[in-house]
């Protein structure tokens, strides 16, 4: 088993309630859908494109799930892979876990799980424990 670590920088964010209103225009409990693009640097040099669904409580915290296509280089091997994310946001910090669901190119055969910690306004920290057959 190998471990890859990378910093994550948000490049774009788009989130709306199911009826099309901006997520920050609605207070209290709500459900949203959206997308985020991310630049990863470190053992993973890549771009990520995430689509997610979020469910907020009245205190502004939320639970989320989504899928991200990551395209680039993982420890020198080029290709793309898909991550299934589950996570939450509480007290200004997004945390989550993810599982590799498929991979292409030189990353075909990639399996693994990982975690992401992302304090609001700071770079995120990505860690992936993986095997590549």
pLDDT at 24: 83
Contacts for 12 with CB less than 8 Å, ≥ 6 apart: 35, 36, 37
pLDDT at 20: 86
pLDDT at 23: 83
Q: Is 43 exposed, middle or buried (0-12, 13-18, 19+ CB in 10 A)?
A: middle
> Which is nearest to 9 in space by CA: 83, 85, 119, 87?
119
**Per-domain boundaries in the chain:** 2-132
pLDDT at 11: 96
CA–CA distance, 33 with 18 (Å, rounded to integer): 7
Which of these CATH numbers, 3.40.640.10, 2.40.350.10, 3.40.50.720, 2.60.40.1120, describes 2-132?
2.40.350.10
pLDDT at 21: 86
């Amino acid at each position: 088993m190998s471990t890859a670590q990378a910093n994550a920088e948000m490049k774009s964010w788009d989130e709306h309630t199911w009826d099309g209103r901006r997520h920050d225009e609605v207070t209290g409990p709500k459900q949203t859908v959206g997308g985020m693009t991310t630049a990863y640097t470190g053992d993973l040099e890549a771009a990520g494109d995430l689509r997610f669904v979020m469910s907020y409580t009245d205190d502004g915290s939320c639970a989320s799930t989504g899928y991200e296509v990551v395209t680039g280089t993982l420890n020198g091997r080029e290709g793309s892979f898909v991550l299934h994310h589950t996570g939450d946001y509480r007290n200004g910090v997004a945390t989550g876990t993810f599982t590799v669901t498929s991979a292409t190119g030189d990353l075909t055969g990639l399996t693994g799980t990982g975690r992401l910690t992302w304090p609001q306004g700071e770079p995120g920290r990505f860690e992936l424990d993986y095997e590549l057959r």
